[in-house]
Structure 1
C-alpha cells in the first residue's frame, strides 16, 4: 500500500516539473492510464496555482539577487515569447505550455505578460486536461514506438 502511494506521489510530483515525466512513470509503474492522466493533470495544475498565486511574492523576494546581473533584455527566445503572447494571449501560452515550456515556465510567462489570474487558471485547466490525458494515452499505448523510453511491455 505504501509503495503504491509513493508511486502515485512520484507521478504527481514529476508532472509538476515536466508533463511527460508523469505518463512515463505511470506506465513504468503499471498505473491505470486514467489515474495517470488525472495525476499528471493535477501535478501540472499544482505548479500553475503556486506560480500564479505566489509568483509575485517570490519575484519580489528574489529581485535583489537578480538585479546584480546585467542581462540582455531582448534575445531571440524572449522575442519568440512576446510574439506568441501578442498573437495568441493566455490561451496560446496555456496550449503551448506542456509542449514547449514546463508548467512552471508557462505560468511564469502568462503572469509576466499580465494575464488575468482567472484566465490563466481557466485556460491552463483546459490545456492540462487535454495534454495530460493525451500524453498518458500516447505513452501507454504507443510508448513502445519510442525505444529510448525503455518502457515495460503491457
Structure 2
C-alpha cells in the first residue's frame, strides 16, 4: 500500500511517478501532493503537470465509466435499507443547491474532492461535457494556485529559517 509518506522516501523517476499516482488517488489529490512534492525538492513544474494529469486521468475515467459504475452500485443497493446521506454527500448537496455545477466543481478540491464532486454532478443528470469542462477548469485553477503558494511559501520558509 502506498500513501503520501511513501513520497518522502522516493527519489528520481519513482518520486515523480508517485506524484502522478497519489494525485490520481481519490481523497489525496492535488492539495496534498503538490505541496509535498515541492517541499521534497522536486521540480515544481513537473510536480504540477504530473499532479494535474494524475488527478484528471481518474476523473475522466470516472466520467467515462459513470453509467457502468452506477449500475453496479444500484444492484448492490437493491436489497439494502436506505442509509442517511454521509457528511460528504450532505456537503456536496448543499454546495450543489447553492452554486450549481460551477460552484461544486470549483470548491470540490477544498471540500469533497474532485472525484466525489464528479460523481455527484453526474448523478444530478449534468451533461458529461459540462462536468468535464468544469472539473477540468477547477483542477487546472487549483493546480496553479497550489503550485504557486507551495513554491513561494516553501521558499519564504527557507529564507526565514536560513
Instruction: Decide: shared fold, TM above 0.5.
Output: yes
Identify the match of residue 69 of structure 2 among 58, 63, 68. Answer: 58
RMSD over equivalenced CA pairs, Å: 2.8
Question: Are 2:120 and 1:109 aligned?
Answer: yes
Other-structure match for 1:139: 150
Counterparts of 1:81 and 1:88, CA distance in 2: 10
Structure 2: unaligned runs, 5 residues or longer:
1-10
User: What TM-score do the two structures reach when normalised by structure 2?
Assistant: 0.76
Q: Hey, what does 1:5 align to over in structure 2?
A: 13
Q: Alpha-carbon deviation of 1:144?
A: 8.1
- 1:89 aligns to 2:100 (yes or no): yes
1:133 alignment partner, SS class: helix
For CA contacts below 8 A with separation 6 or more, give which structure has more relative contact order.
1
User: Contact 1:16/1:43 (CA < 8 Å) preserved in 2?
Assistant: yes
Q: Answer yes or no: is the 8 Å Cα contact 1:19–1:103 preserved in 2.
A: no
**Is 1:16 the equivalent of 2:16?**
no
Deviates more, 1:118-127 or 1:12-21: 12-21
**8 A contact 2:92–2:112 mirrored in 1:** no
Instruction: Give the Cα–Cα distance (whole angstroms) in 2 for the partners of residues 75 and 44 of structure 1.
Output: 23
State which drifts further: 71-80 or 113-122. Answer: 71-80
Q: How many positions carry a matched residue from both structures?
A: 147
